[in-house]
Structures are given as C-alpha cells and as structure tokens.
Structure 1
Amino acid sequence: MEEDWRADFYSTKKPDSVYGRQNPLNLLAIDAYIYGYPLVLTDTTRRIMLAGGMSLNQFLNEPVFPSPRYTTIVRPNVDTLYSMAWLDLSREPVILYLPDTYNIYYLMELLDAWTNVFASLGTRTTGTKAGVFAITGPDWNGMLPEGFIRIGAPANTVWIIGRTQTNGPEDYPIVHAIQNSYALIPLSCWGKFDIPKIGAAKQVMNIDPSTQVANMNAAVFFQTMMAAMHRNPPWIQDPAMSKKLAALGLIPGKTFNFYSLSPSVQLALELAIDHGSNLLQAAASKKYFKNSVHGWTLLVKDIGFYGADYMQRALIAMTGIGANLPQDSVYGPAFIAADGMPLSGYNNYIIHFEQQQLPPVNAFWSITVYNDKGFLVENPIDRYAISPHLGRLNYNADGSLTIFVQNTSPGKDLAANWLPAPKGPFNLLLRLYWPKGAVLRGNWTPPAILRMQALS
C-alpha cells in the first residue's frame, strides 16, 4: 500500500510545487504525519474521554446504544453495549475480572496507543466462563497471585474496548448485569474488597476527536505526538522511521518544543499538516471506492495489527478507530453502489442475500448506516442498523433476505427490512462478528448494493 499512495500523491502535484520537486524535508514530514496520526488521534480520544468524567483504570459502561448525538468514536456500532477503559500501568498492574456471561457473546479488545490490538479476550478466545487476567506494563517484573493469566502490554497506556452483544433495548437489563460485573482492580488492592467492584458509569462528552486532530496546527500536532511517543514507545522498532524523525528533529520527550526546530523544518511540518488530511482522504477514497466489489470493501487482512504499514494504520484510525482483529470481526464499508455511484438518500437501494449467501458467522452480523462524517442520523423509527439479532426480519419463501436502504419507508409490508438512510450522502458498514473461515479466506462476498431509482 505504501508505494501506491506515494505514487498517487506525488503524481497529482505540479512539477514546480514543493512536492513535485520532492523536497526531502517535505517528504520526511509527510511520512512523520502518517506515522504519528493514529497515536495523536488515540491520545486526543483519551483526553476527551477523561475530561468528560471517565476515570483511569475504571470501566465506563454505556447503558444504551449510541444515538446520533454520540460523536466520541467514528462509526460506533449499535449491536453491542460498550464497556471502555483507559489504563495507566506505570505504577502497577491492573487486574481485569471477567464474569461468567452464560454464553452471551462478548469481546474485550486491548489496544496500545498506536491502535494495535495486542490481546483479544472473550467468547472466541477465552470462552464465556469467569476469568482473571493481570495486565502488566513493559517494565513490571513482579510476581502474580496463583491462577492469574498475565497479559503483557507493550506500553503503559492501554485502551480496553469491551463489546457485549445486545439484542435490542429489551436486552439492556441482562447486559447491564454483565457490564456491572466487569471489573478493573489495581494489583495492590486485590483481595481488599469483593469482586467485582467497578466505578459508576459517567457521561463522556460528545466531542469528535478526529475533528480536533484535523484542526491542530503543526506545533500542537507534533508536540502531542512527541509527548505521546515518550509515554508509549513504538511496540516494533523501525530504524528507518527513527532516522526520518531524527532528521526532522522530532525527538520524543515531555519537553519537546516545536519552535526550537529550524525554520525549514517547521515549514515542512506545517505543509505536512496542510496536505496530510487530504492525502488520507484521497487514500481512503481509493481504498474504499476503487477496490470495492458490488459496492463493498471487505477488510479481511492488515487490520487490528499493522506492523510497518503506517498508511493502512492511519486510514483505519481515521475511518474506524478501535478496529478489531479480523478473527473477531470483519468490517465491510460501502460508500458506493454496485454501479459505482456514491450512496445517496435521494436513491433507493436493495441488498438481496440468497439463502446460501447469508453472512457466514459464528456470532452475528449487521449493517449500519452513517452520514458522510461517520455518525448516526436521526430517522423516524430510531433504527440505525439492521440484523437478525436486533429484530425480526421477513425472509422470502425461498429463504433469501432482501434489505431496503432508503430515506422513506418502503411500505408497511416491507418495513421490518427497512434500513432508513439520511437524505444526503451516506455510507454503510457491514459487520461480521466472529466470521467463519470462508470470510477470512476471501471466499465469501456480500451481495451487490443495487440502486433502484431516483426519488422525484
């Protein structure tokens, strides 16, 4: 992917432009921006959530599905209730207690500050019985009580994103009982109070972190990046990238000062900020438009853990931060219909699954609709996703399933299968939770998104 985006980006620049001339400092600065974008976005998300009342080393349990007012995370799901936590492991390990969920599907995803998933707990990997896990920082070498399962974090900042399957609002009481049994306990406090113990849920401010990052100037962006890198060194060392950063004077540290850099480097970093967002948007457009099949782009590899593919890491952070490993969930974004035209609420669409083409999953699947910014949109029936687990769908006599995606109701007889779309541009996200091998091997393709007509 790296060579593709480089070639595309530079080919669009005029020969006499700073990028057309391939000024070395400017090229290094763009690389630094792409490399640091997920880290800065994660750090911004963390600061917003903590400022909104969330506490370190405690779960925040979302008691209801996200609404259109929710903008803290782009493209939130409405299949599960979230349980999120930010850990600081610099002082000591934190014990994660997971209760018996009595076969209700759940997933606890542990991410580093760079958006890499380093551990996945839950139904697929550890089952639904109770378990106790000790999450330790990279510098901790102590002894754990017998029976604890150790999970070594690559850095002291850890983001836990828990998802518990919720089959509609009527399921809230059952899921709340499970959420309230998830617990995070500092190791030094283990055994001093009953398990489970958890902080009360608080409301997080609905502020869009990606917009905050997009509005940062070069000084704020790179000072945030250097401070975050100081706290969270890269999990995998990349000598080539380290040389690029050093050449720009980007040395991780709490006291990094952007204005101490040379004027030429400051200018290069400012240009990277000016062009970086457009570069990511263009790369995303190519990925999700040009590489789609029937309108969908199934992400079955290079997601959740990114190695040295820094552009892929940045794209996923921008379009869906907190993405799981594909073994836990495969995502299929769609921005266009099968005919190549962008999705718009001025058209009606159908998605028809033949019986043998229904999504092959071990858990469940859904399709969610978002506006062009990646957030939910008000609609008359408060339905933001469609799935067999969220409500009864009407199947055809031959076992096939037809879903109607449009702004207005398709009529009473078809309303059960209606996914309301906003009036303007929108996009869809197909989620396949715990997908079967056919999906992971690339042997399954979702059906075409067919544009039926333009509304008058």
Structure 2
Amino acid sequence: MKKIKLLSIILFVLFFTACNTTSNKKNTVETNENGFVILTDDQIDNIIRRAYQYVALYNVNNKFAITQGGWNTLHADTKLKDHTMRDIARPNNDSFYTGIMLDLRKDAFVVNLPKFDSKYVSLMVTAYDHYVYVPKSTRQGDFQKDEKIVFYSKRTENYQGESVAGIDNVFEANGDFISVIFRVMPHANEPERFKKVVEQIGQISMQSLSEFQGKEPIPANEITFPEVGKTDLDIFENNFLEVMQFIFNHITFDDNDEMDRELLACFAPLGIAPGETYDPKTALKIDGKKFRQHAEKIHAENLNKLTDPDMSASLGPRVFKQKGQTDLEAILAVSIIGPIGLPIEEAFYPAVNTADGSQMNAMNDYVIKMTKKELPPARAFWSLTLYDKANGFFIPNEWNKYSVGENAGMKLNDEGGIEIYVAAEKPDGVPIENWLPINRSDEDLDIILRVYVPELDKLRSWKVPVAHKL
C-alpha cells in the first residue's frame, strides 16, 4: 500500500508540473542586465521568420481599416491608383479593388456579389495569418449572376455556419478580423465597358447577418488595437510581443498544422499564447533594436529573391496559398516582397530582371522586348508595373504612367510583339503607352509582370522577358 501511495504522489506531482510548464515558462526565462529576455541569434531569426507573415498582414489590414474609416466598412475603387498609394508594397493599377474590412467577433456579415461584365474578377479573403483564399472568381465560372455570401469565424458569438434563407454561400474565415477584397479588371481603354464595370462595382454591398434577417444590429465590443508601424520593421522594434498576443487571440490555429505548432512553440517561452492578455507591466521584454536588426537582414535577404530568376520561378507555385498548401520560405518571401496576392491559378507575378543580372537603376534607361510568341500566356490579361525597389511604390511622374498593359494602355508592333521602355525621357517614335517614366537618380528599380489566369501548361516553358540596358 505504501508503494502504491508513493507512486500516486509521484504521478500527481508529474501531472501538476506538466500542466503548469507552459504557464510558468515566462517566469523562468533568463534576462540580461537590461531586463531583456536572453535569446540566441538563431532563436531571434526563427521567431521573426515565423512571425513575419502575421506582422505584415496585421500592418496591412489594419492600415486599410484605418484608411477607410474602421472595421465593418466598404471602400470601392473607381479610379486607377497612382503614386500616392502608400498602404501596401507593390500595388497595381491594372485592376480596381473593393476592400471590405470585417470584424467578425460579435456577428457574421453578408456580402452581395453582383454579376460582372469583365474579363477578370476575384474575391480574395485573408486574416492576420496571410493565408489566401479565393472562394469566387471568373476563372471558376463565378460572377455570372448575383449571389450572397456570409462570413464568420470560429469565435463569432451569434452565428456558427448554419444555413440561412437567402444566403448562397457560407465561408468560415481563419480570423476575427479579415479583409475581403474584390479585384476587378476595369477595361479602362473601353469607355462604355469601363462605365458599366464601375456601375457594377457600385452594387457591391455588405450588412451584418442580423440586419439581413431584419433584426437589430449587434454592436461590436470596444477594442484597442496595438499601434501599426510605418513599416513592418517598426513593429519588430517597438511593440512586437503586444501585436503577436493580439493576433494570437484572434486567429484560428490548427493543432495538425506544422507551421502553426512551430509558431506557438517559439512564442510560448515569451509568454505569448492564445487566450493570454498582454500587460506591459508584467510582460517579458525583448531587445527591440536587436529584433529590428535581424528583421532588416531577413527583409533584405528575401527582397533580393526578386532578382533571382530561379528562386522566383520556384516560389511562384507556392505563394498566396491556403493553410497547408504553402511553406515558410514562400510565405515569408511574399510577406516581405508584397503582401496579399493571388495564387498561381488566378495570377502569376514574376519579376523582370536585367539581361546581364545587374540591379536595375534609374541612372540608366532600359528596353523590354517581346515577340508575339513571347507575350505572357494569359487567359484573362497581363500587365507590367514599375516600382522603386526600396519601398515597392510607384515612381512619381506627371503622366501618371506606372504600368503597361491592356488597362493602362499598350501598343503592339506590326508583328504582334511589343517594346516597353523604362526611361527618363520618352524615346522618339515610342508610343506613350509603352513608356514607363523614371526620375534620373541613383534609385534601384523593380518591375513586376502580372499574368492573370495563366495558361499553366504554357507557363512551364514560357520565359519571363528581360530588360536590356540602353
């Protein structure tokens, strides 16, 4: 009996210790003389690499919400973007966006999907985790009739996916705060069709599920969001743990997903876990400046992947995917290069590099030539857009010329090919549609080619065009 009793005591102690290991971790970590948690360089790198997708999307989605007046709001494009666009790196002006920012904590929301007369329309959904879902697109045969879709999350208090009369589609989002983005080809060079597309964009609408059912709207609880950063690097330096705790409380994690498990494991010793509360008085402290330095290194490393054709080709099929369909390398790269995009079935985003492999710079002029057979294999349309490398913004110019394509304008030559010039002055004889202006300065440049609904079989053998220095 004594042995049995002793064994019972030992088992109880082991069980009690195991149950309290996670909650006590933040009280047992070592700190230095400045009060910062002691972490190796490898640990810091691992934390940043696994968190970058969340920091990037927190920054992007919250900035969009701030810009358009808060959550549960809708903002529709009716004009093509210009160089004043600063909310996201490497935007494009070959399509119109309608952004709906939803807070799903209290109530689900219904969005009206109108019929569209456009070559390309898609509906893209993402939460703070940066996994991309495209429940509707013209590629899939959608937008041929009016439909309604309802959005909710695992934590939505007053709805959990049951069927509702008048609702055609139900979508469970990965998080409580999501962006629902319509991307619409506007046919800007066809005035009548352009006008019609703009009118159809005006038919996009949203309302809470309670309102849709004729009930009183349920107000969302007041909530304080951690500060966004001017750049993602600012968050890594200033309020990284606070932001991650907020994200952890509003994201759905999957115990069977390896990336989710690894993320949670590396933050547990820092006291950051789902359901916890961030209190700056008691929270562990990290060396923000050191985290920023590591983030800057990782940022530069991934930004340079744009100029590596082999790496770009490797990443293409893996980026902007659903959870479980991508990997850390791919989602880290796109979170840095340009957050929120479409998977390769909907769009392909190769970088245009120089013929000799050198970095493109505004001290030089360039030409990009494609024969008819070398044009991008797009079932919908394609465009080529110029950015500054450092920030991923349009190059300011008085002509508001930032891209070449069916929407921004282009002129094919007599053989059906095209020559596109990147130059400080428009070369003689070159159509203005085929000119991308630059400002003569020591500024590195990037060019992104977008191929909407690519022919995947042809894409395997198609070569991305290169820029030749003049």
CA shift digits 1:118-157 (9 cap, x unpaired): 2331211242222221222224143322552222212222
Task: State whether residues 315 and 330 of structure 2, in contact with CA within 8 Å, keep that contact through their aligned partners in structure 1.
Answer: no
Shift of 1:209: 6.5
Cα separation, 2, equivalents of 1:302 and 1:219: 31
Counterpart secondary structure, 2:184: strand
Specify the alignment match of 1:284 in structure 2: 303
Q: Please point out which of 369, 373, 381 is paired with 1:356.
A: 373
Specify the alignment match of 1:400 in structure 2: 417
Cα separation, 1, equivalents of 2:327 and 2:229: 20
Q: Please point out which of 234, 238, 253 is paired with 1:234.
A: 253
Cα separation, 1, equivalents of 2:313 and 2:273: 37
Cα separation, 1, equivalents of 2:48 and 2:234: 14
Shift of 1:191: 5.6
Quickly say closer, same or farther: Cα 1:422–1:88, change in 2 above 3 A: same
CA shift digits 1:387-425 (9 cap, x unpaired): 134324131x33222222222101144434222233232
Cα separation, 2, equivalents of 1:141 and 1:398: 55
Counterpart secondary structure, 1:114: coil
Q: Which runs of 5+ in 1 are unaligned?
A: 1-22, 194-207
CA RMSD after TM alignment: 2.8
Moved more, 251-260 or 113-122: 251-260
Residue 163 (structure 2) pairs with residue 143 (structure 1): yes
Specify the alignment match of 1:183 in structure 2: 205
Q: Please point out which of 132, 135, 157 is paired with 1:117.
A: 132
Q: Please point out which of 58, 65, 74 is paired with 1:43.
A: 58
Moved more, 422-431 or 383-392: 383-392
Quickly say closer, same or farther: Cα 1:47–1:226, change in 2 above 3 A: same
Shift of 1:324: 0.9
Task: State whether residues 297 and 333 of structure 1, in contact with CA within 8 Å, keep that contact through their aligned partners in structure 2.
Answer: no
Task: State whether residues 96 and 185 of structure 2, in contact with CA within 8 Å, keep that contact through their aligned partners in structure 1.
Answer: yes
Identity across matched positions, percent: 18
Q: Please point out which of 209, 221, 224 is paired with 2:240.
A: 221
Specify the alignment match of 1:80 in structure 2: 95
Specify the alignment match of 1:322 in structure 2: 340
Residue 393 (structure 2) pairs with residue 375 (structure 1): yes
Task: State whether residues 166 and 175 of structure 1, in contact with CA within 8 Å, keep that contact through their aligned partners in structure 2.
Answer: yes
CA shift digits 1:275-308 (9 cap, x unpaired): 11222212331x2233459xx7585211112646
Task: State whether residues 299 and 330 of structure 1, in contact with CA within 8 Å, keep that contact through their aligned partners in structure 2.
Answer: no
Instruction: Number of aligned residue pairs: give it.
Output: 407
Cα separation, 1, equivalents of 2:213 and 2:269: 50
Q: Please point out which of 176, 185, 196 is paired with 1:156.
A: 176
Task: State whether residues 135 and 152 of structure 1, in contact with CA within 8 Å, keep that contact through their aligned partners in structure 2.
Answer: yes
Task: State whether residues 167 and 391 of structure 1, in contact with CA within 8 Å, keep that contact through their aligned partners in structure 2.
Answer: no
Specify the alignment match of 1:451 in structure 2: 469
Cα separation, 1, equivalents of 2:314 and 2:437: 22
Specify the alignment match of 1:200 in structure 2: none
Counterpart secondary structure, 2:249: helix
1:264-343 matched pairs, under 5 angstroms: 266-267=286-287, 271-285=290-304, 287-292=305-310, 299-305=315-321, 307=324, 309-334=327-352, 336-343=353-360
CA shift digits 1:309-345 (9 cap, x unpaired): 33432321222111111111110123x4110111122
Counterpart secondary structure, 1:450: strand
TM-score, structure 2 as length reference: 0.79
Moved more, 442-451 or 240-249: 240-249
Specify the alignment match of 1:247 in structure 2: 269
Quickly say closer, same or farther: Cα 1:150–1:262, change in 2 above 3 A: closer
Residue 121 (structure 2) pairs with residue 102 (structure 1): no
Cα separation, 2, equivalents of 1:126 and 1:408: 43
Cα separation, 2, equivalents of 1:28 and 1:258: 22
Cα separation, 1, equivalents of 2:372 and 2:238: 55
Q: Please point out which of 196, 213, 216 is paired with 1:174.
A: 196
Task: State whether residues 82 and 161 of structure 1, in contact with CA within 8 Å, keep that contact through their aligned partners in structure 2.
Answer: yes
Shift of 1:348: 2.0
Quickly say closer, same or farther: Cα 1:36–1:406, change in 2 above 3 A: same
AA aligned to 1:443 is S
Cα separation, 1, equivalents of 2:141 and 2:168: 13
